[in-house]
Amino acid sequence: MKNKTANDNSKEPLFSQKENNKHFLLSVAGWIGVIVAAPFFLWVPLGLIGLAPSMIDVFGIVGLRIPAAVTIAGLLLAAIDSIGFKGDHPDPYPDKYQQLGKEINMFKLSDFFILLAVGVSFAVSGLLWFEGFQTEGLFTAIWVPSILAFGIYFKLSSLLAQRERA
């Protein structure tokens, strides 16, 4: 089967309507994830400089798990949108990275979101642990390997899809 590209002169559309709908839904999910995660990243610095009440004042130490969980869910939604595989369609711009080499594409935006979610979980679990809430800290620390497993699964799926297209 020949992979079609944007440069082909065939009259068939590059992507089917069903694939376009799927891409649109993934993009919407990704943007919802960014919107869900953004308040956390705005609130933390504003709370640190005193322009807003800190999250600890609002939620308490143990209650930090709530905004952390919402933020991590948003980051994972954002990662799904930018995971790098969105079906079995060809890359519409195959020559885009040819000059840079394929190695440059290994770290994608989805990896950044996954690692950011891991960092949030790790920081909240450390804060809970050292503030004396060991059980809650351990519970939150368990999220770290789960998030990493999620990221690894989708990274491998993306690489497999790229390999099958080549």
User: pLDDT tens digits for the chain (166 residues)?
Assistant: 445 455 555 555 555 666 677 777 777 888 888 888 888 888 888 887 888 887 878 888 778 788 888 888 888 888 876 665 444 444 444 444 444 444 445 667 788 888 899 999 999 999 888 988 899 889 989 999 999 998 888 888 877 877 777 6
Counting the structural domains of the chain, the total is 1
Q: Is residue 132 assigned to a domain?
A: yes
Q: Is residue 24 assigned to a domain?
A: yes
DSSP state of 140: H
Alpha carbon distance 125, 147 (integer Å): 14
DSSP state of 50: T
Task: Give pTM, 2 decimals.
Answer: 0.66
Q: Is residue 138 assigned to a domain?
A: yes
Alpha carbon distance 59, 79 (integer Å): 27
Contacts of 147 (CB under 8 A, 6+ apart): 72, 76, 114, 117, 118, 121
Contacts of 80 (CB under 8 A, 6+ apart): 26, 29, 30, 33, 110, 154
Exposed / middle / buried, residue 33 (Cβ in 10 Å: 0-12, 13-18, 19+) = buried
**Residue-range definition of the domain harbouring residue 43:** 17-84+103-165
Q: Is residue 4 assigned to a domain?
A: no
Q: Is residue 72 assigned to a domain?
A: yes
pLDDT of residue 118: 92
In a 13 Å sphere around the CA of 7, the CA atoms on its Cβ side amount to 5
Q: Is residue 111 assigned to a domain?
A: yes
Q: Is residue 127 assigned to a domain?
A: yes
Q: Is residue 92 assigned to a domain?
A: no
Sign for the pseudo-dihedral over CA of 77, 109, 26, 147 = negative
